[in-house]
Amino acid sequence: MRKSFGIVLLLLMSSMALGSDKLPPSVELWRTYEQQHVNRVVGPKIASPEQNDQNPKYAPESGNIFELPAFWLDASEAQMFEANNLPRRLRSMFVRGANSKKQFLILVHPESLAMFKSVLKDATPYSGKFLATPTSSSRTLFVWPKGQADQVFLVKVALDATIGSARRIVSKLQVTHSIALNNVIQHINQELPDSFVGLPEVLGMVPNELDREGGMIVRSIPDELLAGKVRYVPMFALCATPAKGGEPLIEALAKASKVSVVDFMESSIIKPFVREWLTMFLESGMVGEPHGQNLLLEIDAQNRPTGRFVHRDFHGFDADFEYRKKMRLPIPSRKWMPKTTSGDFTRKSPRNPIQEHFTNSLDIFFGDGVVFTFNSYARKAGYSRDLKAVFKRVVIEQVESMTGTQYKTYEEFIEHLNSDAVTLRQQYRKTAKNQCSVLRKVVGG
Reported as a single tens digit per residue, the pLDDT across 98-109 is 888 999 999 999
Which residue pairs, CB below 8 angstroms and at least 24 apart, start in 339-343?
A: 339/80, 339/81, 339/82, 340/79, 340/80, 340/81, 340/82, 341/79, 341/81, 341/176, 341/179, 341/180, 343/176
Asked if residue 341 has pLDDT above 80, the reply is: no
Quick check: 109 and 159 in contact, CB under 8 A?
yes
> pLDDT band at 323, cuts 50/70/90?
confident
CATH 1.10.10.60 fits 21-444, yes or no: no
Give the residue-averaged pLDDT of 218-229: 97
Neighbours of 225 (CB within 10 A): 20
**Which residues lie across from 96 on neighbouring strands?**
103
The per-residue pLDDT for range 248-293, each reduced to its tens digit, is: 999 999 999 999 999 999 999 999 999 999 999 998 888 999 999 9
Pairwise CA distance, residues 242 & 43, whole Å: 21
At 1, is the pLDDT very low, low, confident or very high (cuts 50, 70, 90)? very low
Confidence of residue 421 (pLDDT cuts 50, 70, 90): confident
pLDDT digits (tens, 9 = 90+) for 36-81: 998 888 888 876 666 678 899 999 999 999 999 999 999 999 999 9
430 Cβ contact partners less than 8 Å away, ≥ 6 residues apart: 404
| Whole-structure pTM value | 0.90
